[in-house]
Every structure is written in C-alpha cells, then in structure tokens.
C-alpha cells in the first residue's frame, strides 16, 4: 500500500500545512500568544496538510492525509525542540493525536469534495 501512495503530494501537503500554520501564527497577534490559540492554529495546519495530500492522492486518501499530518507533526516537534523549547511529553502526545485527527479530517473533506 505504501508504494501506491503519491509521496510528492504527501510532502507538498506537509509543506502546505507548515506554511498555513506559520502564516496563521504571524497574523494571529495576541490570539497566537496563548496555548489554546496555538493548538487551534496547529490543528488548522494539520487539516490543511491532510486535505492537500488527499487531493493529490488517487488511492488511499485518508492514509495519505494522516501520513502528511504526521510528517508535519514530526517537523514541528523537531523545529520546536531545536529552537530551544523543552520537550513536553504530554504536549507532544496531544499534538500527535491532533495530527492524526486533523489529517483524517482534511482527507475526509477532500474525499467529500471529490465526490460532489
């Protein structure tokens, strides 16, 4: 099944989710300063990553969306730790769950859009 996935679409979805997250964070102002705002912004990024990956994928769209958002999760976690923030296991666990949920949601939106 992994060979059937459109990997360039998955990577493009990951990049799209990263850009969406950073742009929303920059323009959020005081909303991005609190934890709830940061989690909401990251969830939107995960949804965008899953949506784009699923739109590029002709088969296994939900799997492509989940993989794309999990790649985004890994990238955000590595960049956050590299920037000097401490690794909080509960925060990483929450982000991992949000990544799976957001990627699945984005892929479901893309599948719904493809059928209509």
Q: Model's pTM, two decimal places? A: 0.87
| pLDDT tens digits, one per residue of 6-58 | 678 888 999 999 999 989 988 887 766 787 888 889 999 999 999 999 888 87
Rounded average pLDDT over 63-84: 87
Q: Take residue 81 and report the two structure tokens written for it.
A: 């730790």
> What is the number of domains present in the chain?
1
User: What residue numbers bound the domain in which 58 lies?
Assistant: 2-115
Angle between helix axes 89-115 and 61-82 (nearest 10 degrees) is 150
């Amino acid at each position: 099944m992994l060979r059937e996935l459109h990997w360039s679409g998955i990577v493009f979805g990951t990049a799209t989710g990263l850009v969406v997250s950073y742009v929303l964070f920059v323009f959020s102002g005081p909303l991005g300063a609190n934890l709830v705002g940061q989690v909401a912004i990251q969830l939107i990024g995960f949804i965008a990553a899953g949506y784009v990956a699923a739109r590029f994928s002709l088969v296994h769209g939900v799997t492509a969306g989940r993989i794309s958002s999990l790649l985004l999760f890994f990238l955000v976690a590595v960049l956050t730790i590299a920037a000097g923030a401490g690794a909080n296991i509960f925060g990483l666990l929450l982000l991992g769950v949000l990544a799976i949920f957001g990627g699945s949601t984005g892929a479901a939106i893309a599948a719904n859009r493809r059928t209509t």
